[in-house]
A and B are shown apart, each in its own frame.
Chain A
Amino acid sequence: MKLPRLIPNALRSLFRRPTTRRYPAEVRKPYAGSRGEIVNDASACILCGLCARRCPTSCIEVDKHLCLWVHDPFACVLCGWCAEVCPTDSLTQTEQRPTPRTVRQRTELHPTPPQRPAKPKDA
């Protein structure tokens, strides 16, 4: 008979904490270095376009003339390469995972491109 052997296990399970989490109400803190959302600080962006060139899914578009930086979060795979190649560190990857959204919308930013230093006039 194997049944009596189940009793200690059943009693243990009765008083043990559940393995799962009550997810939407209770969310685990992400680990340090977790790959989360891509955030761009428009004030530091110089519109160099390195992020758009490195992106494997082409989810970033940069237009220097229109002063436009566009990110499509639905096409992004959160690989984090754009943040790694950013020369001014304006592009960062947070530790928070993107939350579900009801509207499909791209992130559009209008950073100001850096002004070129005026050419020194010949004396």
Chain B
Amino acid sequence: MGRTVIPFGPQHPVLPEPIHLTLTLEDDIIVEALPRLGYIHRGLELLARKRTPDQMVQVVERVCGICSMMHGMCFCQALEDIHGITPPPRAQWLRVFWAEVHRLHSHLLWLGLFADALGFENLFMQFWRVRERIMDIQEATSGNRVVVSVSVIGGVRRDLNPDQMLWCRTELAGVRDEVHRLGKAMLGDYSIAKRTKGIGVLTPERAHALGTVGPTLRGSGVAHDIRMLDQEIYGAMEFKPCVENDGDSWARLTVRIRETEQSVDLALGTLDRLPQGEIAVKPKGQAEGEAVRRVEQPRGEALYFVKADGGKLLDRVRIRTPTFANIPALLDLLPGHSLADAPVLVMTIDPCISCTER
């Protein structure tokens, strides 16, 4: 049988960001998928040699808009390790609050986009309506709707006052109710089950061998979450990662819906346990040394390597983002499925291409 080559992307209705996949088909079935990346490479890692570490915080926040909080937080944590300082407890808890609110907004964005990829336009608009409330929380507490930009080396820039905390509590409780209702509608839908159940199965062994991270890995039944390592904050809130065992698109969808509800609880938990005190300490002198930090982003584990040689500027910043780790899994998923399933499968790994290309 003859083979057909279909270019998928970089401009495609289902893709919010540009990635190109060359799909080789036999009849209607994909037999091979090859990626091409580099459409939005900006060279942000090299900027570390031209910007001071303080300025670099604003740069790494712009590696990716939808997980900017975690990028900034991870970079600051790495530099705090190099400086040998510990941010005050209130700052650490506030960072977790914003990180969880950020995860909420990212997961709601993905749920909307996934519903859209399946052709469920109404649900897409409903999820984004709820996301609007989260972005209002971000604007009211940090000043920006998406790139919250609250992390500094040694703490955070903004504080929450009691009125804001009370308002955030009511808003988050409302969001939890709405997410629960919409999640039930999504998981109870016959067409969504038909298009996701048993499609794109990634076994735990294969997921582990490919180095998959985040909800894609947890959907395959591996309980791997960087938040589990944080005993002080997530341990105090008795955090348990959401895991599904089927490994198909349905499992990855269920993990994200459950994580959305869990993030509301974690954000509310941080508000309940927020200690009093300072919100930042000042680092002294120039940084010298190396540090590696990992953080759990909405899409999975991100790794930061920062090297400073004691000068005014940093020597090297290396960022390994979750989508970079998940692309091999995507290429493994696609063969054997029909072309009509390709958009949904691409969406299930939650591709964030601007992260990947930096």
Contact = CB atoms under 8 A, between A and B. Distances in A.
Contact of B62 (A32, A35, A77, A81): A77
A54 interface: yes
Contact of A54 (B54, B143, B144, B147): B54
Contact of A56 (B51, B136, B139, B140): B51
A80 interface: yes
12 contacts: A19-B129, A30-B139, A31-B140, A33-B140, A34-B143, A35-B144, A35-B149, A56-B51, A77-B62, A77-B147, A80-B143, A84-B157
B58 interface: yes
Contacts, number: 36
A18 B26 CA distance: 48
Nearest to B143: A35
Interface of B: 51, 54-59, 62, 129, 136, 139-140, 143-144, 147, 149, 157-158
Given A19-B129, A34-B143, A35-B143, 9 more contacts: A31-B136, A31-B140, A32-B140, A33-B143, A34-B144, A54-B55, A56-B55, A56-B57, A57-B58
Interface residues of A, number: 17
A80 B26 CA distance: 55
A79 interface: yes
Contacts of B139: 30-31, 34
A55 interface: yes
B58 A79 contact: yes
B58 A33 contact: no
B129 A81 contact: no
A57 B136 CA distance: 26
Interface in A1-60: 19, 30-35, 54-57
Nearest to B59: A56
A78 B62 CA distance: 12
B143 A55 contact: no
Pick the 10 closest A-B CB pairs, nearest first.
A56-B58, A56-B55, A35-B143, A31-B140, A79-B58, A31-B139, A33-B143, A34-B143, A19-B129, A35-B144
A33 B54 contact: no
B126 to A, nearest CB: 9
